[in-house]
Amino acid sequence: MTWLGILEVLAVVMAVLAIILAMMILVAFARRIIPKSIPELKLIKKIKKDKPKMSKDTASEGVTFNDIFMFMIAVPLVLLWVGFAGFVIHSGLQDDSVLEQIEGYTTLIAILGGPALLIIKDALDVWKQEQAEKTAFYKVKAQAVIDYNDHAQKQAQMIEAKAQEQEHKMESKK
């Protein structure tokens, strides 16, 4: 398979993924727009009312502009940047004519790489924040378990001491 064939297959795959993503976004918007008077929707709403309620913060979450931006712009940009860089490296190892034009390729990689690296950095910052929140949660949870075990041990010792005290009182009355 030639490089042109690989690029064509990659373009078709990216186009299919873009169509799937666009359909998902359209379905999400259509759910908001559909009239509420349709009988099937009333049945769905009745079923949803029987489910436990979510908090106001969770219930208000939906598809936001940032979600659309990430899936329509950021994700394809990062994939394009990584794919093109890999293509240039692979073709440079196979074909010497690519090395003759490497300055143009590296310029294009740099142009795509600037925004792509910012997006990746932001994604990593969000991931680090989530990890810090998880760590803080587990520290609090571990401290709660330690406190619970400490109180349980103190209570068991107190019960044992009261039982021994009661036993001594009963023996002294005899």
Q: What is the pLDDT of residues 137-147, one digit of tens each?
A: 999 999 999 99
Given a contact cutoff of 8 angstroms between Cβ atoms, the answer to whether 5 and 91 are in contact is no
What does the alpha-carbon distance between residue 87 and residue 10 come to, in Å, rounded to a whole number?
11
Residue 20 lies in a domain: yes
Residue 37 lies inside a defined structural domain of this protein: yes
Report which of 81, 83, 88 is spatially closest to residue 112, judged by C-alpha positions: 81
Quote the tokens at residue 70. 């990430």
Domain total for the chain? 1
Residue 22, in any domain of the structure = yes
CB 91 within 8 A of CB 98: yes
Q: Does a structural domain hold residue 122?
A: no
**3-state secondary structure at position 52:** coil
| pLDDT tens digits, 7-40 | 777 777 877 777 787 777 777 777 776 655 555 5
pLDDT tens string 58-113: 444 566 666 676 777 777 878 888 888 888 888 887 878 877 888 888 888 888 78
Residue 104 belongs to some domain of the structure: no
